[in-house]
Chains A and B, each alone.
Chain A
Amino acid sequence: MLMTEAILLTIFTAATPLMIAALGELVTERSGVLNLGVEGMMIMGAVSGFAVAQLTGSAYLGALGGIAAGALFSLLFAFLTLTLVANQVATGLALTILGLGLSGLIGEGFVGQPGVKMFPIVIPFLSELPLVGKLLFSQDAIFYFSIALLIAINWFLFKTRAGLTLRSVGDNHKSAHSLGIDVIKIRYLAVMFGGACSGLAGAHLALVYVPQWVEGMSAGRGWIALALVVFASWRPFRILVGAYLFGAVTIAQLHIQAIDINSLTFLPSWLFYLAELIKAIPSQFLSSLPYIATIVVLVIISRNRRLTLINTPASLGKGFVPDR
């Protein structure tokens, strides 16, 4: 029981950054902007979060630092794609390349230093509930925030006027402009919100998940978050499902690598042989599981082109120059 609980806990920890980054990107894409720089913003959030936490000694200030760094970094992207109408795909790649380089430079002094860990906040009574208590109510602040964020984004998008305006801009920027909606301003805000979320997701890596600074520690999670948005067909609650699925895959392969086969002798023999078979899979193949899973998921979800077409924000990735 304890073992399962520990494993589930790590799944939550692995899923949280994916979910936050994907939710942020979802809002950005709902406004019609495709920001492929999630990986870059995430790693900037990680290094800034780590650095701020080191300097101040507070993991919470670190998280705020990550948010600020992600949002500021995304401004670069916003300026290029929204003000100068540069190609969004290329600029997103540029953001990732620059983020990986810049974070390496900034973080050079922090390599190998022990980080400031964000400790769990145990909620009295609720945390003592059987089964779910430990999992849901004895977590770090960023986890709680991620759940609140999910609910808030869903409410914002579908219940508020501002959310409606944001969706309208993503659907048809020309129509929105002719109604007097400030398309560029809304997109700036949406991009910065996505940046802030990616930054926080990165900070989570450096303050909760690892907690250390390792160069390139985002390890493709930004890209997986991007895939999650497609997987979720731009609907917030499906991001939850996707993120935890990926969290589970990531953790499963880690645990399989760590398991000592001799400790499993209590299993029925056929299960033991199965375990032996799985253990025989080289660790590198297990490590590549999350990436392969991403590809498989993308293929499966994209197969239904009709559905994808209906769900995709119609002006996603298209530049807009208002006439004045």
Chain B
Amino acid sequence: MNKNDAIVEDNVGSQSGDTMLEVRSITKKFGDLVANDAVSLKVTKGEIHALLGENGAGKSTLVKMLYGSLQPDGGEIVWHGNRVEILTPSQARNTGIGMVFQHFSLFDSLSVAENIALSLGKENDLRDIGQKAREVSEEYGLPLQPDTIIGDMSVGERQRVEIVRCLLQNPELIILDEPTSVLTPQEADNLFETLARLKSEGRSILYISHRLDEVRQMCDHATILRHGKVVGECTPANETAASLANPMVGEEVGDVSRAAVTTSAGDVLLELNNVNQPAPTPFAIALRDVNLKVRAGEVVGIAGVAGNGQSELFDAVSGETLSLQNSDIRMRGNDCGTLGITGRRKLGAAFVAEERLGHSAVPDLSLSENLVLARHGSDAQTFLGMGSLGVIRKNVTRQVTKRIVEEMDVRKSGEDPDASSLSGGNLQKFIMGRELDRQPSILVINQPTWGVDAGAAQKIRQAVIDLARSGSAVVVISQDLDEIMEISDRIAVMSDGSLSEPENAETITREDIGLKMGGLGHG
């Protein structure tokens, strides 16, 4: 037998002929964590089946087992009535299962054709692949140039490569992991058209998402996961967004409460004046004429598709990248474009970066050490002793850590554990608490709730709004449009290194934002 074919163990087919895939009480453990606990689901031919659940509910783990990247610890996979074992991704592909990854599995330094070749079997000649890719991409309205290097492509284009690569394998079942989280609304619409077409060809789609509206609009059936278990099955069209969300979250997550901006004429605390910056590395984005004024008491949301200069903007505001002119950036009336991050913190600013481990926090250092990381300058008086020797007062930093942990309800094991041992949500709560504890007059956050569970996300969003209402200026950069709409007073959009003029959140529409995300509708 070809080692690349899935092993068919025996025929257990008794079900009606149109069941394509059946998963029977599959279980997967990572150490003590049960990622999938006896999960079962059925996908029939020609349906779009949604897999719903929060971050960490076990969706990705489940589909990785279907794609052969992970091996289940128990349970079985039935394909067209036969029990199969899928040991490697190439077995999955030969079986007829294709996958489009959330964090793309592409190679930046290689061309489109080379990327596609890597997932096709040896029987395909390297030289023909470019031509084949062109044909398939044209057929499905996903135009591609086979010679382009991936590193030069936009996120939307990269997803096209992933999808074309998947289609070239002619799969019966296509797994899409959070496909729209990186797309503009318009790009997402194009994707939905492609999916409808694939469905009409008799292919099935397993669609992972946490965006309830698109699931309701498009999916025939849904399975809801929570903490690794199936907690509901339904026909999304018959449900409301709330009735889908409740089993996902397991509790009623209240909306954040947003008092009206009382100090609408608050002072401008943060000001960006024509910030221009060349791209620091070949894969980064240059900032172009970025202007922004943020007043005391308001939250300005910055929307945009990932990779359009948000991280570069964050670095420019935080002072991790310095501006050429001091007047480019002003905080509380002080020019600080050439002032480093510590100096800006001393002016009352606080920052929360996108990457928690390795940027906002050092994984192998304890929480109290990670407190010192961001506050050794602004709190030098309390945290450091013995003058110029700069001895860290460990008893003080531990006390402050304890205060933050209680304030933000951070769940942890041990007195002062390593940052890496906390869950994403708890670490983010700690990092937020570290900055909020200072009562900063300016707060800049990049992706505040990325990969954070709903409960923690709600707490973080509420804290952000409360800080603004107490008189601080807050900037929230986020890819999550729902989040931006929920907490912002004004909304600007980042696209290819430029920032649009902020507009009132009450009046701006999703369509407007979508157009701006795609680089249209400027001016």
Which A residues have a C-beta under 8 Å from some C-beta of B? Answer: 159-161, 164-165, 167-168, 171-172, 174-181, 306, 309-310, 313-314, 323-324
Check if A164 sits within 8 Å of B117, measured CB to CB.
yes
Bound CA–CA A177/B90 (angstroms): 11
Interface string of B114-132 (1 = CB under 8 A from A): 1001110010001000000
B117's partner among A161, A181, A310, A323 (CB-CB below 8 A) is A161
Q: List 29 A-B contacts (CB under 8 A).
A: A161-B126, A164-B114, A164-B117, A164-B118, A164-B126, A168-B114, A168-B118, A171-B108, A171-B110, A172-B105, A172-B106, A172-B108, A175-B104, A175-B105, A175-B107, A176-B118, A178-B69, A178-B101, A179-B105, A179-B118, A179-B119, A180-B90, A180-B92, A181-B118, A306-B281, A306-B282, A310-B109, A323-B70, A324-B70
State how many angstroms separate the Cβ of B106 from the closest Cβ of chain A. Answer: 6
- Chain A residues with CB below 8 A from B92, complex form: 180
- Chain B residues with CB below 8 A from A179, complex form: 89, 105, 118-119
Say what secondary structure dominates the interface of chain B. loop
- Chain A residues with CB below 8 A from B104, complex form: 175
State how many angstroms separate the Cβ of A267 from the closest Cβ of chain B. Answer: 51
State how many angstroms separate the Cβ of A260 from the closest Cβ of chain B. Answer: 53
Bound CA–CA A172/B90 (angstroms): 18
Which B residues have a C-beta under 8 Å from some C-beta of A? Answer: 30, 68-71, 88-90, 92, 101, 104-110, 114, 117-119, 122, 126, 281-282
Check if A314 sits within 8 Å of B110, measured CB to CB.
no
* Shortest Cβ distance from B88 into A: residue: A180
Check if A178 sits within 8 Å of B105, measured CB to CB.
yes
- Chain A residues with CB below 8 A from B88, complex form: 180
Say what secondary structure dominates the interface of chain A. helix
- Chain A residues with CB below 8 A from B108, complex form: 171-172, 314
* Shortest Cβ distance from B125 into A: residue: A161
B89's partner among A160, A165, A180, A323 (CB-CB below 8 A) is A180
Bound CA–CA A324/B68 (angstroms): 10
Extra A-B contacts (10), CB below 8 Å, given A171-B109, A314-B108 = A167-B107, A168-B107, A171-B107, A172-B105, A172-B107, A176-B105, A306-B281, A309-B281, A314-B109, A323-B70
Bound CA–CA A180/B95 (angstroms): 14
State how many angstroms separate the Cβ of A179 from the closest Cβ of chain B. Answer: 5
Bound CA–CA A164/B111 (angstroms): 11
- Chain B residues with CB below 8 A from A167, complex form: 107, 109-110
* Shortest Cβ distance from B106 into A: residue: A175
* Shortest Cβ distance from A306 into B: residue: B282
- Chain B residues with CB below 8 A from A165, complex form: 118
Check if B282 sits within 8 Å of A310, measured CB to CB.
yes
Bound CA–CA A323/B110 (angstroms): 24
State how many angstroms separate the Cβ of B163 from the closest Cβ of chain A. Answer: 15
State how many angstroms separate the Cβ of A163 from the closest Cβ of chain B. Answer: 10
Bound CA–CA A41/B71 (angstroms): 38
- Chain B residues with CB below 8 A from A177, complex form: 69
- Chain A residues with CB below 8 A from B107, complex form: 167-168, 171-172, 175-176
- Chain A residues with CB below 8 A from B70, complex form: 323-324
4 closest residue pairs by CB, A with B? A180-B89, A175-B105, A178-B105, A171-B107
Check if B122 sits within 8 Å of A161, measured CB to CB.
yes
Bound CA–CA A174/B30 (angstroms): 18
Bound CA–CA A170/B183 (angstroms): 28
State how many angstroms separate the Cβ of A170 from the closest Cβ of chain B. Answer: 9
Bound CA–CA A161/B125 (angstroms): 9
- Chain B residues with CB below 8 A from A160, complex form: 126
- Chain B residues with CB below 8 A from A171, complex form: 107-110
With A164-B126, A171-B108 as given contacts, are A180 and B101 in contact (CB-CB < 8 Å)? no
* Shortest Cβ distance from B104 into A: residue: A175
- Chain B residues with CB below 8 A from A159, complex form: 126
- Chain A residues with CB below 8 A from B69, complex form: 177-178, 180
State how many angstroms separate the Cβ of A310 from the closest Cβ of chain B. Answer: 5
With A178-B89, A180-B69, A323-B70 as given contacts, are A309 and B105 in contact (CB-CB < 8 Å)? no
State how many angstroms separate the Cβ of B168 from the closest Cβ of chain A. Answer: 13
* Shortest Cβ distance from A182 into B: residue: B88
- Chain B residues with CB below 8 A from A324, complex form: 70-71
State how many angstroms separate the Cβ of B35 from the closest Cβ of chain A. Answer: 11
* Shortest Cβ distance from A167 into B: residue: B110
- Chain A residues with CB below 8 A from B30, complex form: 323
Bound CA–CA A168/B89 (angstroms): 16
- Chain B residues with CB below 8 A from A314, complex form: 108-109
Bound CA–CA A53/B90 (angstroms): 46
- Chain A residues with CB below 8 A from B109, complex form: 167, 171, 310, 313-314
